[in-house]
Structure 1
Amino acid sequence: MCNVCGCGDSRIEGHSHEHSHDHSHDDHHHPHQHNDHHHAVTDVPQSVVIHHHYHHQGDVHHHVHYTLPVGAMPQQATHGHHHEHETNHQHQHQHSHDHAHDGDNHHTHHQPERLNSGDLHYGKGEAEVHVAGVSQRQLLTLEMDILGNNNQLAAHNREHFIENQQLVLNLVSSPGSGKTTLLTETLMQLKDHCACAVIEGDQQTTNDADRIRATSVPAIQVNTGKGCHLDAQMIHDAYHQLAINQPGFLFIENVGNLVCPASFDLGEASKVAILSVTEGEDKPLKYPNMFAAADLMIINKIDLLPYVDVNIDDCVANARKVNPEIQVIKLSAKTGEGMDAWLNWLTENRQQL
């Protein structure tokens, strides 16, 4: 779970760091005041950073930083990251600690909640992540708070999408699976029949958003910086920046990553996992959370099957070991083979809105 990934410097095209706007609807009107929580800590207004630090093995420092709104309790931390560094200790420590001296002036620092070997789960504990100096219970609490805040905003996003009769899909995959090529080909087929828009997620550049805009479909780029996924706040801000309210499709192309995006609800109707045949048939078993969260798996680049050593039937079977209900479409965005099945799936799911 990505609760310490450093997702602190995202940028949305045309979006200021601080803004307020009103959302007007047929049935209700409600103002919003936003503080942008996805910029560097120094940019976060009305917040404080809590530093948990401890020392071990000589001069190695470990720090965990949580960002809290002013007045919040510690369990309401919204972001966190961890880093370590070495120093020569050329400064005086301003905190109290016990010293055990021997002939070599060796220092032992005693800190509360010292970890023991049973806490070093390396992804196998309750929180399914390991951070030096932070217990599984602390990580689990932080994870629940982050996801709880995200899910509240995702529910708010979903209200907008349903009100505007938009089928919103979260496209997730590894880098290089062919997401953007599939998306551009899909838009070329759909754009003359209904409204379409795209929110693009990448760490840097506007390359993919530029490719989408070349199809005459509106798109906005979200650059996540060090962040490895999109979250509901980013989608909320980008959606209102796009200012789209026509019935149709909104495609969210997530950052290339099969881990963290699995945990973050954006308000979408479905996650669509895109898997290239070049990635091998065991990918669903290696990244089970993503395929468990997806309603549809697209096996892309089937035009390459004669040139790769992969068994597609085994790939489908592995996905269904993780998620027995997952639907599967095999296609090639390059040749067009199988695209009709994908377009039919889109139409059928939009009709169910």
Structure 2
Amino acid sequence: MIFLTGGAGFIGANFVLEWFRDHDEPLLNLDKLTYAGNLETLSSLQGDARHLFVRGDIADGELVEQLLARHRPRAVLNFAAESHVDRSIHGPGEFIQTNVVGTFRLLDATRRYWEGLAPAEKGAFRFLHVSTDEVYGSLGEHDAAFTESHGYAPNSPYSASKAGSDHLVRAWHHTYGLPVLTTHCSNNYGPFQFPEKLVPLMVVNALAGMPLPVYGDGLNVRDWLYVHDHCSAVRRVLEAGVPGQTYNIGGWNEKPNIEIVHTICRLLDELRPRAGGGSYLEQLAYVQDRRGHDRRYAIDAGRIERELGWRPAETFESGIRKTVQWYLDHPDWVAHVQSGEYRQWVALQYGGAA
């Protein structure tokens, strides 16, 4: 069995679904079910004995210890995180609690469990921590892309909290010998993404006839990674990564935000033309820039390609088309997210608000 945290969120849920597409090994899924944790995403696994879901917090060390002792996983994969930069600016406390305190408690419970394993199990065990390229800070227009040796320079409460969690993971390896792996991904997009992030927000707002808000001049640059490619990379790192090492995961797709918005509008013009005619680009609206908005991120994913043989399967053009089509094909999922209906099931099942 593997033990995955944050498996009802966007990236974690995609990982869970793909895991059971390719594996029969059971998976223990621990998720706090905050606003972005959506069990509807995992509805296809209802009744599947291989998927054991537990509602809980990685900061609950006693619960984590009980789950580890009961289910005896061969690996822990930490996807759990507060991850939206805007939310971290307005309320940083939750980010410190989950990303720093939560990671510490998860690490410490895992260390005690790992130390009690038999030698063969202990040698095969892995703790994989999923992090972000945002810990590296911002790049200039002509700077080389981030490599794994790039210094940390986080600029938002979110990225600072993730940097803190990364340092804890590194320390638990060097101090206690815990066999850890850390991955740094670029901007993910794809199915089941909560519509506060750029790609789903643009699709949802466009279809609703609402403004398409773009920060500042729209020229902030990110590397774009299709979520299924990210999941395949994490699986590869779990299989063959060297304990103590970090691996950057990127899509080799550096693009400014405004180009992403234009691409989405062109696809919607093709796939779902506006009832009154004209282009969705007419809804474009520039808004005041985010405080501390990093100008450019760029991932050099050469190490994972050279050492582990992984490359993304999707180009940006193929991935973004699949993503837009998915949102067009799943209006009920989007409607439930927007209305909060997806949380009613959680309240019914767990006796309280999500």
Both structures adopt the same fold (TM-score exceeding 0.5): no
Provide TM-score, normalisation by structure 1: 0.33
Provide TM-score, normalisation by structure 2: 0.33
Structure 1 or 2: more helix by fraction: 2
Structure 1 or 2: more strand by fraction: 1
Q: Which has the larger radius of gyration?
A: 1
